């Protein structure tokens, strides 16, 4: 029988109908109520003509509707496409057009931006998460109210695609990673058996459009854990939720942990219920690991990618401090090897590219068979990340995907920003690098060559970027140079730029 992630909620509601499963602000839902909402969503989508393989996009903060859509669409064989709410309008239009979405569900915060581009995607039906939506959009609550909560006929599962998550592109365009029901099932099982018991109540402060948050959602239903949603990151509110909801664990990025400690009176908040913190995206400073360990809280570093439905490796609690900087060993149902440029496996302490084999590796990139063939070779996902293993097999990531920048947990690919900068009529050439930033870990710096006879200021260029890419991708600093160093084949020498401009 094919695994269908949508059916996870059906089964959990049958086993634990009265147990509380989801909390978001004042809304508290039992598993039975969650399942009823998902069933109504499934019926509403079918009435709109959404069927197996059709795409439904979601532009929202961390809302209960994420659960409706992931499980409701899963039951009818349709596909959820979460959209990064920090993207600019042109980037959202690209994703909607690329995936061929039939429906866009959006929360009230994004009505204005959706209105600004909706004429560019006329085939997409807009649905607002609001009782009184704009006149051009349908009301999500009213659509669901009109439907029955009866179980729909289950369609699909297994190797069928459940979600498409767009990752920043190394060639200037993002790519949609197709993640299947089996992928999510493998992640659920592997996370559980690799982490062990993580408590009964899990907080999600990371945005659900990220695989770091969404990848664990089926596991919470699988295990019957209560989920508490933080709609958007607010460190003070997060500490209050940890205290008031008796949170046992949460996932985060290093920057969030640092922001929590900056909240006035941090030491007075009750953290006694917290047993585990999972950290993604960047290495956790050793000092921070020790501070939390002193409070009896495990910080477990993970390494993963969208393309493998989240986790690839995790460090165990025993070695979290003694091997600080490592992201541990492969999760239970995964294999990792490091290879040199000829494809030969390297030994301990030798640098190599991370290759991953697991049932949670994506089906491929949406409508990009050539890029899929380059990414998955003989069943191994070629991550582009450089790492080493120590004598005990513990993984240490040494360099991220080519020249990727990680700012506040967001992956930023310089090529995408460089492509955008070169569209400025005053720019002759451009390169983008990351630079250390105390608040976000890294920030974006651009090195720009201005066309002869033109004048351009840092303020002018940054202002020009504002409606073209997400705010977090916009350069924080601009350096004007006479030329960009390149190889004979035209490749930008990023190392030279970092050495010259990040001293």
**Between the CA of residue 443 and those of 6, 66, 499, what are the distances in Å?**
38, 29, 16
Residues of the chain with CATH 3.30.300.30: 407-501
Reported confidence tier of residue 170, pLDDT bands at 50, 70, 90: very low
Burial of 128: CB neighbours in 10 Å, binned 0-12, 13-18, 19+: buried
Q: From 44, 52, 42, 82, select the one nearest 157 (Cα to Cα).
A: 52
Output the CATH code of domain 184-399: 3.40.50.12780
Reported confidence tier of residue 401, pLDDT bands at 50, 70, 90: low
Distance CA 370, CA 429 (A): 28
What is the sign of the dihedral through the CA atoms of 471, 457, 428 and 485?
negative
99-103, 169-173, 182-186, 299-303 — which is least confidently predicted? 169-173
pLDDT value of residue 400:
61
Q: Strand 376-377 to strand 380-389: parallel, antiparallel, or no bridges (unpaired)?
A: antiparallel
pLDDT value of residue 410:
82
Mean pLDDT of 438-456: 91
Assign a CATH topology to domain 5-157. Rossmann fold (3.40.50)
CA dihedral 40, 41, 44, 49 (to 10 degrees): -140
The pLDDT tens digits of the residues spanning 478-495 come to 999 999 987 544 567 787
Q: Which CATH architecture has domain 407-501?
A: 2-Layer Sandwich (3.30)
Distance CA 169, CA 271 (A): 39
Does 399 score more than 80 pLDDT? no
The pLDDT tens digits of the residues spanning 70-107 come to 999 999 999 999 999 989 999 999 999 999 999 999 99
Does 236 score more than 90 pLDDT? yes
Residues of the chain with CATH 3.40.50.12780: 5-157, 184-399
HSE-CB at 145 with a 13 A cutoff on CA atoms is 8
The pLDDT tens digits of the residues spanning 352-372 come to 889 999 999 999 999 999 999
In contact, 174 and 168? CB cutoff 8 Å? yes
Does 62 score more than 70 pLDDT? yes
Count of CB atoms situated within 10 Å of the CB of 487: 8
Mean pLDDT of 460-477: 92
Q: From 483, 476, 23, select the one nearest 225 (Cα to Cα).
A: 23
Total-model pTM: 0.86
Does 182 score more than 70 pLDDT? yes
pLDDT value of residue 164:
98
Burial of 16: CB neighbours in 10 Å, binned 0-12, 13-18, 19+: middle
The pLDDT tens digits of the residues spanning 259-288 come to 888 899 988 999 899 988 999 866 777 777
Give the distance from CA 293 to its chain's centroid.
27
More confident residue, 50 or 502: 50
HSE-CB at 385 with a 13 A cutoff on CA atoms is 23
Q: Tokens 């730029």 sit at which residue?
A: 497
């Amino acid at each position: 029988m094919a695994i269908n992630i949508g059916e996870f909620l059906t089964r959990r509601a049958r086993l634990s109908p009265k147990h509380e499963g989801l909390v978001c602000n004042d809304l508290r839902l039992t598993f039975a109520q969650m399942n009823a909402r998902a069933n109504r969503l499934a019926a509403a989508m079918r009435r709109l003509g959404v069927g197996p393989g059709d795409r439904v996009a979601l532009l929202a903060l961390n809302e209960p509707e994420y659960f409706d859509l992931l499980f409701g669409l899963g039951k009818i064989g349709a596909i959820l496409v979460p959209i990064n709410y920090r993207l600019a309008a042109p980037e959202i239009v690209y994703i909607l057009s690329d995936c061929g979405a039939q429906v866009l569900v959006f929360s009230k915060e994004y009505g204005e931006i959706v209105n600004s581009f909706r004429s560019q995607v006329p085939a997409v039906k807009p649905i607002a998460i609001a009782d009184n939506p704009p006149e051009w959009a349908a009301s999500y609550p009213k659509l669901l109210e009109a439907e029955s909560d009866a179980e729909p006929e289950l369609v699909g599962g297994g190797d069928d695609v459940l979600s498409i998550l767009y990752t920043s592109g190394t060639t200037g365009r993002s790519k949609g990673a197709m993640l299947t029901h089996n992928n999510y099932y493998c992640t659920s099982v592997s996370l559980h058996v690799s982490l062990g018991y993580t408590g009964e109540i899990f907080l999600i402060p990371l945005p659900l459009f990220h695989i770091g948050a969404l990848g664990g959602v089926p596991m919470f239903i699988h295990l019957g854990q209560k989920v508490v949603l933080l709609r958007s990151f607010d460190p003070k509110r997060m500490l209050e939720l940890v205290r008031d909801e008796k949170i046992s664990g949460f996932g985060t990025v290093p920057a969030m942990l640092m922001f929590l400690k900056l909240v006035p009176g941090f030491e007075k908040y009750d953290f006694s219920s917290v047993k585990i913190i999972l950290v993604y995206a960047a290495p956790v400073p050793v000092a921070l690991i020790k501070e939390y360990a002193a409070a009896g809280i495990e910080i477990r570093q993970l390494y993963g990618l969208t393309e493998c439905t989240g986790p690839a490796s995790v460090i165990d609690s025993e070695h979290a401090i003694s091997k600080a900087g490592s992201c541990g060993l492969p999760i239970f149902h995964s294999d990792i090897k490091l290879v040199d440029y000829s494809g030969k496996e390297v030994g301990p302490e030798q640098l190599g590219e991370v290759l991953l084999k697991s049932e949670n590796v994506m089906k491929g990139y949406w409508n990009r068979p050539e890029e899929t063939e380059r990414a998955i070779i003989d069943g191994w996902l070629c991550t582009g990340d450089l790492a080493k293993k120590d004598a005990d097999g513990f993984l240490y990531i040494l360099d991220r995907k080519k020249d990727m920048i990680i700012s506040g947990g967001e992956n930023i690919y310089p090529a995408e920003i460089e492509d955008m900068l070169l569209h400025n009529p005053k720019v002759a050439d451009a390169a983008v690098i990351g630079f250390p930033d105390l608040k976000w870990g890294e920030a974006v710096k651009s090195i720009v060559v201005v066309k002869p006879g033109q004048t351009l200021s840092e303020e002018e260029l940054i202002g020009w970027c504002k409606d073209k890419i997400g705010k977090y991708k916009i350069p924080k600093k601009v350096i004007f140079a006479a030329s960009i160093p390149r190889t004979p084949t035209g490749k930008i020498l990023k190392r030279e730029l970092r050495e010259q401009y990040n001293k």
